[in-house]
Amino acid sequence: MFTDVGPKKTSSQQLIKEANMRRIFALICINEGISRAGIAASTGLSPTTVSTLADGLISSGLVIETGAGELATSGRKPIMLEVNPGGGAIIAADLQKNGYYLGIFNLKCQSLDEVFIPLKDYEALGSSIVENTAILLEKCGYGVDRLLGICVGAPGIIDRKKGRVVSSTIIPLETSNLFYEKLKKAFPDVTVEIMNESGLCAYAESQYGAIGRHTDNLLYIDIHAGIGAGIIINGSIYEGSGELAGEFGHISIDLNGPVCKCGSRGCLEILASIPALVANIESETDFLKEHPETRTEDEKLRIIAMEYIGKKRYSGQIDKTAEYIAYGINNAINLINPGAVVIGGKITAMGSGFLKKVVEVQRRIGLDRNRRTKIIMSEFEGNPVTAGGARYIFNKIF
């Protein structure tokens, strides 16, 4: 996007120009409405340079002039520059058990639309995304040439270099599934990334979250059937040396605890996942007697949450889960000392009572100095996977 500006130049000069262009564009992104003069003052670049580069951004369609801005004192009114929302579109997918969400975002990373596409056969994932990307683009008035990137968020272990889901307990995606290649082939000039969903949630929190925005290092804990984590280090998604970081569910907090399928004992996943919580409640309370009908886990969770929030029922089991999670979080804080820990996933159905218990336990067992880390529940509006994915693509390009 930034490389087709002007004729061939010597590499280093081109580099400078591109870097300055990025700086200017970033400023325009952050400040909704800023003048050329404002950019010059803020960057230290000369007004001349800013004018030249801004004109380049305008002619490439990324930026538009939005008329005269207000000025406190006298003088010529500034011409305000803003990101051109229609200048480009980003597509983000969120793979689920029986299909996927597909969202379209404008250049301001605002969600324009999001649909759920049911999938019977995951073999067809690639071609399905290709089709529905075209549909969404058309629906929102974008030509295919305006597509900037596609991000696919998936549960499980990702091999980003090969663009594959290596293993996942949730979606039936074989290692051999070539949906990444299909996307690259259909949209050759476009950035395509496969990312772990927890990482994208973490990224969404770190970019948009009221708390997350203010820290460089953040841990997002995703509690559902499994327990995963997304880690933000120095503002970027951290994936570890083998793209395996964030296996929060297999942190052990009880080496004498129950045996986990991973070979260890007392893992959080076996103690504090949603299935573990439901199983505890079923075996220790009258839940099954009161609700004898066969139900899905989601339905059970809904009932449990309702009765917990309304009548404080099952608080023994839920508090216990909170304690386990607090031990896990405290271990993570001791190791990586993030500025914030965000709890997300289905467990958020339990509401603030659950969070309160987690915080209470962590404050009790944590070192004094580690109590500064904020522990909150995700309050993200919309789908954090697609929002994080779109933002990730955006920041990768610009």
Q: Which two tokens stand for residue 339?
A: 């500025």
Report the alpha-carbon angle 44-45-49, nearest 5: 165
Q: Which residues contact 279 (CB under 8 A, 6 or more apart)?
A: none
**Residues 151-180, mask of contacts with a copy of itself (x by CB under 8 A):** ------x---------x-------------
247 binds a copy of itself (CB under 8 A): yes
Specify the residue, 14 or 370, whose C-beta has the smaller distance to DNA.
14
Specify the residue, 13 or 296, whose C-beta has the smaller distance to DNA.
13
Partner touching 334 among a copy of itself, DNA, none, CB below 5 to 8 Å by kind:
a copy of itself
Q: Figure out which of the listed residues 256, 289, 296, 310 binds a copy of itself, where binding follows CB under 8 A.
A: 256
Q: Which contiguous run of DSSP H or E holds residue 325?
A: helix 315-336
- The Cα–Cα gap between 253 and 251 comes to 7
53 binds DNA (CB under 7 A): yes
Q: How many CB atoms lie within 10 A of CB 164?
A: 21
Q: Figure out which of the listed residues 186, 253, 347, 359 binds a copy of itself, where binding follows CB under 8 A.
A: 253
Partner touching 234 among DNA, a copy of itself, none, CB below 5 to 8 Å by kind:
a copy of itself
Specify the residue, 111 or 236, whose C-beta has the smaller distance to a copy of itself.
236
Q: Figure out which of the listed residues 32, 55, 131, 216 binds a copy of itself, where binding follows CB under 8 A.
A: 216
| Minimum gap (Å) between residue 220 Cβ and a copy of itself | 12
306 binds a copy of itself (CB under 8 A): no
Place of tokens 């139900």: 295
What 8-state DSSP symbol labels residue 122?
G
Partner touching 252 among DNA, a copy of itself, none, CB below 5 to 8 Å by kind:
a copy of itself
In the chain, what is the greatest distance between 2 CA atoms, to the nearest angstrom? 78
Q: Which contiguous run of DSSP H or E holds residue 104?
A: strand 99-106
**Residues 68-97, mask of contacts with DNA (x by CB under 7 A):** x--x-xxxxxxx------------------
215 binds DNA (CB under 7 A): no
Question: How many residues bind to a copy of itself according to rule CB under 8 A?
Answer: 59
196 binds a copy of itself (CB under 8 A): no
Q: Residue 135: what are its φ and ψ, rounded to 5°?
A: -65, -45
Specify the residue, 37 or 211, whose C-beta has the smaller distance to a copy of itself.
211
- The Cα–Cα gap between 200 and 387 comes to 8
Q: Which contiguous run of DSSP H or E holds residue 8?
A: none
For residues 171 and 95, is the Cβ–Cβ distance under 8 A? Answer: yes
For residues 257 and 379, is the Cβ–Cβ distance under 8 A? Answer: no
Residues 28-57 binding a copy of itself (CB under 8 A) are 44
Helix axes 315-336, 274-284, angle to 10 degrees: 150
28 binds DNA (CB under 7 A): no
For residues 223 and 305, is the Cβ–Cβ distance under 8 A? Answer: no
Q: Give the up-direction half-sphere exposure of residue 251: CA atoms within 13 A in the CB hemisphere.
A: 22
For residues 208 and 168, is the Cβ–Cβ distance under 8 A? Answer: no
Specify the residue, 215 or 395, whose C-beta has the smaller distance to a copy of itself.
215
What 8-state DSSP symbol labels residue 267?
B
373 binds a copy of itself (CB under 8 A): yes
Where on the chain is the footprint of DNA (CB under 7 A)?
6-14, 16-17, 20, 35-38, 44-49, 51-55, 68, 71, 73-79
Q: Which residues bind a copy of itself (CB under 8 A)?
A: 11-13, 15-16, 20, 44, 157, 167, 215-217, 229, 231, 233-234, 238-248, 250-256, 262-266, 323-324, 327, 330-332, 334-339, 364-367, 369-370, 372-373
